[in-house]
């Protein structure tokens, strides 16, 4: 299979002015606004012909988007895009549907990112099954509002069934437990959310309510607020503990819950990019010893089952033990990795997840659903009663409305997508998809290692591989320095200093390489900076690949590495002088009076 061409098509290159659509569609006619015209837009056609007409036009747009030759992105610049979308006032006159669809094709689809391309291996957004387009049309046509049974009859039961499926994957309670609670309107096994951010917020809101419950004259933190809650229970602050690899939504949740981002305490990650359990224990001991200036309530400990940067899974069993010893809420952010529980071969990675008080899982990641939907699950089916709400016109106190238990109000029937996907693909099908992702991850790692100019910086667990471009001779030198034996303390400090200088140069090289890959645009990987690699605590710039697209194969991965190696070697001459200067500085420092044998320790 050959890679996407570097030069994009004419349609992608052109920058349409606001009048270009009219020029390309000379039959466009002016529409007179009338109620009769508008009324027809809301009436279901007598026959499916109209749907077929517009459906054909829509599918043609989608087909052209996927089949158009060119790069991952169109060649248009961001300033040029801003000139396309430069109308500052709401349109006055109506337009024909076909004309607006033509405008969408020209202005929007032509300049959208081809995230489904098998050469796009940089983010968690991937190809989706084509039937998802049909499901999205059904969701829009039914237009159910999940907040209330009056606007979401069957769909409310679909949602609760989906939540029960995943609750059972995580907690594996008895059949009788699920028969009793799955469709029981008095409790909730969890919620469907718009994604991991809302799921984490939901979990930590429940954790906050559990940390400061009603007591005597104190009505609880929900009514009284954090200031009065802390005062009543004799604390100066409430904190959340999470790995340095934790998602930034944890900080957002702390801000929204009135805890403050400063009270999200990050525990360093170990060399496998997982929370350092000993570091967690030291921090917990310090917080509870009374030695700190402020008396602290630990509201929650957050584990990660597939962090977004490296895919690593925390030691959930150890984190559960610490949480239980403290008596705090244990939440697991499994937005990325949780769907892998569908496959028995992956379950060992998640040992201890059943001891979590709450777990979040996203459907738009490893369930291969379109953006965006998540789930938050609670071990105790009564936990969501802590945040239960009611209103006079919806979600009345004794109703069966799902919205009583959710942070969000109006929500679409997005649960149809994973519910249908699980029926169409099944656990066996997802097992095959995850096997392909694992095989692609192993293949990509093998190709990178064979090229010799790359350094792998994680042992991938859930289909994310991080690495960097390092010319072979530089990599050998870095490894030789790290392996140096019988060094005095001054020598060790000098070596660390030189490793730091070289890594600083390689960081700059990889940043420039990533920008060059964006300009080349035939492939895509993302980029991040980590302090938990073999060079810890130094921050290392790495390239990040997410290898879940089932359309990606060995030949494509070979092309991706070939392109990166070519561009990296083209850029290396700009950085080599700085590297040689750093290298010679080491040699000079250790050359005096040491003899040839000692000098050889620093040789390439």
pLDDT confidence bin for 397, thresholds 50/70/90: confident
What's the burial of 65, exposed, middle or buried (CB within 10 Å: 0-12/13-18/19+)? middle
- Of 71-75, 158-162, 211-215, 300-304, the range with the lowest mean pLDDT is 71-75
pLDDT score of 13 more than 70:
no
- When pLDDT is averaged across residues 266-286 and rounded to a whole number, the result is 96
- Range 37-42, long-range pairs (CB < 8 A, 24+ positions): 37/94, 38/94
358-362 sheet: strands from edge to edge = 190-193, 374-378, 358-362, 329-333, 296-304, 237-243, 264-267
Q: Give the DSSP H or E segment for 395.
A: none
- Give the C-alpha distances (Å, rounded to integers) separating 107 from 73, 79, 568: 13, 14, 34
- When pLDDT is averaged across residues 453-481 and rounded to a whole number, the result is 96
pLDDT score of 122 more than 90:
yes
Domains of the chain, first to last: 10-114 (no CATH), 149-411 (3.40.640.10), 430-602 (3.90.1150.170)
- Is the distance from CB of 126 to CB of 547 less than 8 angstroms? no
What distance in Å separates the CA atoms of residue 503 and residue 479, rounded to the nearest whole number? 12
- Is the distance from CB of 360 to CB of 376 less than 8 angstroms? yes
- Higher per-residue pLDDT: 176 or 60: 176
What distance in Å separates the CA atoms of residue 5 and residue 3, rounded to the nearest whole number? 6
pLDDT score of 456 more than 80:
yes
Question: What letters, b where the CB count within 10 A reaches 16 and e where it falls short, cover 364-379?
Answer: bbbbbbbebbbbbbbb
The neighbouring-strand residues paired with 375 are 192, 361
Give me the chain's average pLDDT, please.
Answer: 89
pLDDT, tens only, 125-155: 989 999 999 999 999 999 999 999 999 999 9
- When pLDDT is averaged across residues 548-556 and rounded to a whole number, the result is 96
The neighbouring-strand residues paired with 265 are 241
- Of 96-100, 265-269, 313-317, the range with the lowest mean pLDDT is 96-100
For residue 580, the tally of other CB atoms under 10 A from its CB is 10
Q: What is the pLDDT of residue 573?
A: 97
Q: What is the pLDDT of residue 58?
A: 78
Helix (H, G, I), strand (E, B) or coil at 375: strand
Q: What is the pLDDT of residue 291?
A: 73
Q: What is the pLDDT of residue 213?
A: 97
Q: What is the pLDDT of residue 595?
A: 33
- Global model pTM greater than 0.85: yes
Give start and end residues of each alpha helix (H) in 309-412.
316-326
Q: What is the pLDDT of residue 512?
A: 98
């Amino acid at each position: 299979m050959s890679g996407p061409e570097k030069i994009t098509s004419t349609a992608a290159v052109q920058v349409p002015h606001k009048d270009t659509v009219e020029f390309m569609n000379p039959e466009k006619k002016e529409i007179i606004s009338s109620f009769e015209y508008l009324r027809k837009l809301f009436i279901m056609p007598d026959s499916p012909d109209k749907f077929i007409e517009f459906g054909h036009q829509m599918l043609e747009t989608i087909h052209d988007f996927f089949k158009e030759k060119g790069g991952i992105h169109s060649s248009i610049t961001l300033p040029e895009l801003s000139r396309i979308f430069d109308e500052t006032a709401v349109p006055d006159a109506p337009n024909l549907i076909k004309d607006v669809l033509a405008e969408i094709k020209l202005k929007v689809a032509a300049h959208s990112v081809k995230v489904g391309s098998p050469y796009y291996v940089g983010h968690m957004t991937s190809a989706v099954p084509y039937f998802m387009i049909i499901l999205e049309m059904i969701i829009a046509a039914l237009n159910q509002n999940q907040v209330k049974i009056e606007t979401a009859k069957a769909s409310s039961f679909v949602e609760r069934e989906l939540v029960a499926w995943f609750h059972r994957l995580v907690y594996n309670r008895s059949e009788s437990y699920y028969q009793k609670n799955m469709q029981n309107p008095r409790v909730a096994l969890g919620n469907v959310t718009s994604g991991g951010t809302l799921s984490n917020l939901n979990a930590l809101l429940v954790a906050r309510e559990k940390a400061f419950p009603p007591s005597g004259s104190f009505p609880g933190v929900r009514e009284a607020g954090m200031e009065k809650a802390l005062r009543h229970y004799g604390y100066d602050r409430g904190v959340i503990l999470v790995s340095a690899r934790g998602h930034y939504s944890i900080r957002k949740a702390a801000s929204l819950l009135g805890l403050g981002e400063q009270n999200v305490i990050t525990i360093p990650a170990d060399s496998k990019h997982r929370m350092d359990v000993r570091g967690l224990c030291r921090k917990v001991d310090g917080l509870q010893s009374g030695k700190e200036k402020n008396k602290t309530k630990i509201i929650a400990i957050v584990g990660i089952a597939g962090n977004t940067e490296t895919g690593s899974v925390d030691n959930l069993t150890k984190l559960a033990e610490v949480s239980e010893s403290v008596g705090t809420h244990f939440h697991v952010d499994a937005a990325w990795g949780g769907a892998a529980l569908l496959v028995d071969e992956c379950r060992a990675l998640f040992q201890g997840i059943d001891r979590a008080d709450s777990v979040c899982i996203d459907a738009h990641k490893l369930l291969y659903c379109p953006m965006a939907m998540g789930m938050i699950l609670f071990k105790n089916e009564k936990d969501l009663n802590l945040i239960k709400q009611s209103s006079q016109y919806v979600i009345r106190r004794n109703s069966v409305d799902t919205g009583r238990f959710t942070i969000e109000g109006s929500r679409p029937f997005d649960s149809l997508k994973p519910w249908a996907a699980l029926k169409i693909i099944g656990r066996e099908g997802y097992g095959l998809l995850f096997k392909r992702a694992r095989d692609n991850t192993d293949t990509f790692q093998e190709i990178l290692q064979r090229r010799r100019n790359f350094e792998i910086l994680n042992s991938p667990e859930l289909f994310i591989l991080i690495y960097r471009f390092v010319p072979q001779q530089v990599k050998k030198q870095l490894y030789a320095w790290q392996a140096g034996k019988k060094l005095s303390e001054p020598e060790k400090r000098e070596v660390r200093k030189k490793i730091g200088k070289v890594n600083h140069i390689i960081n700059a090289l990889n940043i420039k390489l990533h920008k060059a890959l964006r300009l080349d645009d035939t492939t895509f990987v993302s980029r991040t900076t980590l302090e938990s690699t073999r060079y810890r605590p130094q921050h290392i710039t790495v390239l990040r690949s997410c290898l879940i697209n089932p359309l990606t194969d060995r030949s494509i991965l070979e092309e991706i590495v070939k392109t990166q190696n070519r561009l990296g070697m083209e850029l290396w001459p700009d950085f080599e002088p700085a590297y040689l200067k750093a290298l010679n500085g080491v040699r000079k420092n250790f050359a005096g009076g040491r003899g040839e044998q000692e000098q050889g320790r620093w040789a390439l």
